[in-house]
Every structure is written in C-alpha cells, then in structure tokens.
Structure 1
Amino acid sequence: MKNTKPLQPETYYHVYNRGINGEDIFKKEENYQYFLLKYEKYISPVADTYAYCLLKNHFHLMIRTKGGEEIQATNNNSNRVLNPVRVNKTSSQIISLQFSHFFNGYTQAINKAYKRTGKLFELPFRRIPIENEYYFSKLVYYIHFNPQKHGLIDDFREYPHSSYHAHLSDKSTKLHRNEVINWFGDKKSYKEFHQSFQDLRNMNPVTFE
C-alpha cells in the first residue's frame, strides 16, 4: 500500500516516483538538467537534498524537510516559497504544495515540448520516512546503485545523472555533501563503500522498495 501520509517538517525521507504506466519522464538528455532546475526552484526552499538519481522513467531522492522557521527564512531571502504565516498554512502543507508545484511545472513543460497531454507522474509520489541513522549511508548507496540494478549501465559509478560524483567533487553544490561524507567517515571510506557490493537484503523492504 502506498504511503500517502503528508510530509512532515524536519524529517528525513526517501522520495521516489515514476512515470505514469512506466512512461519515460526524461525524453531527451536536456530534460535531466531542466528537472534539476525546477527541483532547485520549488524543493530547495522546503527541503535539503543529500542524494539523488534520475533514471529514464523514475527517480530517487534522499531529503530532509525543513522546519517552519527555516522555510520562512528561505522565503524572506528569496521569495521562492509561500510564507507559512502569511498564507495561514502549516509547514507540512507548504512542503506538499511545493512538491505539487514542482511536479505540475515539470509535467506542463514536457507536455508542451512533446505535444502530449495529461499526467506524467504516478500519484501520489512515494515518501518513506528514514528514522534510523543506520540506514543513511545504505540509502545513499542504494540510490546511486539504481542504474546498475536496472541494467542501464555496468558500473553505476559511471552514471552521469546521480549525485555520486558531486559528493566526491570540490565544486560548489546545493547538495548537503559534507553531511553525506561524514556518514561514511571521509571521502576514502565513501569510495570504498561504493566500490564494495552492499547486501541490502536485510534492510527494511519498505525503505528500499
């Protein structure tokens, strides 16, 4: 059964979704970058992002939703998100609205570009709360491993549309890279963890569906 509980503030989540009826959500290479630009516009004001992977017909994210004061501060700095106080909505409602705007905005752009109509994503999108820090590093690995899991590439570390290389880079990033590396210990341990096959069969199946 799909988890449709509203997103709660200050909570870690594994968020994932796919195209309706398995349809590709990324039709061309440029769609991946456009997706990330839309994501930055709508989701960054209400959530911190730790890891991601974008595949042809689905995506995976590891995020932490922000609290009310964080959301309001972001709004005051950028005006990219509704002010919870001004619009009389809870933080949870604001977060959900931003995800709705994100999916709708991307869908409208794809529909216009490829002369299609109707929904692009399955609804509701999946959201699994991650309550145990023990799972953090394993979830990052799982997200990065997905292209290899689905047979899209022989070595997931070479896949271009994930956060794997951004975690190892020194270039500026919107990802909360330092926290991710700290979960593994350091960059060397991060690379070693990803180089070794991780058996996830003993993990909570709900977390890694």
Structure 2
Amino acid sequence: MLNTTVRQGAVLAATAGVLGVLAAQGAATAATPKDNALGYTCRYGAVSVSDAAGSVVPTARKPDVALHAKLRLHNTENAALTKASYVFAIGNLMKNRGPAPHVRWRVGKGSWHSMALHWNSKTNGSLPLWNSQSLTVGTIPSRGTVTTEISVTFPKRSIKAVNYDFLDVHSGACGRTRLDWYTGNGFSYWPWHGTEGKPA
C-alpha cells in the first residue's frame, strides 16, 4: 500500500510541470471586452470549477467499477451565463493509452448520459487525451453554481495508471473564449496486481 502511494505521488510530481504550463496557457488567453448587450465579461476565470470531494482521487482496484466526481461550475460574474458547456478530457499521459474508459455525465439531479469519447493526440496543444463532445450545462445564474457529476469506469485491460481529467468550459454566448481550463483530481485505475503503465 505504501509503495503504491509513493508511485502515484511520483507520477503526480512528474506531471506537475506539464499541468502548470497548461494552466499558464489558459490564463494567458486574451480577455474579451464586456458585451453591453450580454452584460457578461467573457474572460478566462469567468467560470471557476471545483471538486466537491476536495482533493480525493477516486481509485478502482478492479475493472468495471464506477468512479464518481461531482464538480461545481461557479459563475464569478454579476450576470447570468447562458449556453454554458464543457468538454471533458481524460488520459494517463503514457504512450500506451489502452481502451477508452466508459464515461457518463449529468447536470444536477438530471438524467445520466453517455459520453462519446474520441482520441485527441494534441488536446490543448500538447496532451494526448480522450475527449468528449461539447456537453451542455445550460444557464449558470449570476454568481451562482451548477453541479455536474461524472462517472468513469475502466474496462478490462485498461492501463494501470493515474488518469488525469480536465474540463474546458465555454459558452455559446462567449464564442471561442475559454472561461476555465480545470485540472481535476483524476481517476486512478490501480489493481493490486499488474505493472504501472501496462494493461491490467
């Protein structure tokens, strides 16, 4: 158990530089001037994402176990954000990507939906990750919060690894302006047997 914790910690430390660069890239996205008709400042940071579980990393010790994360999308502006959406991305940052995880999502207490994932070798310009289609959140009230829940299940022969996840938040009202690029806690597939970075 101790060795597993050390290995996972090492992986996290090794990727910290990459994730730091991504955060800096997102923060450097040019802000869009406030649209008087919209009453909303379309800028990076206009939406803030957080995990209700704090820093806990959901871990599966065997295949076909559903792991969950509940994420809060908070509108930091004084006007309602319409047509909010996000793209979910997940991957282990290793050369052997393995099979795509089964991912479902929902908004609030609504119905669950399956995500259709596609492989993107250059997510956000550099990361090879599984990406979802654009997922509709709806309207986030002024200074309000909308919750989305994500369920990730790793099938047999998935790669034994910590899988990093990201939310790329946009709005139809803000065009192509990125409102947040959130680095999640991750979803770990870590069976007791097998070798890190290999199918297990």
TM-score (norm 2): 0.26
Which protein has the bigger strand share?
2
Which protein has the bigger helix share?
1
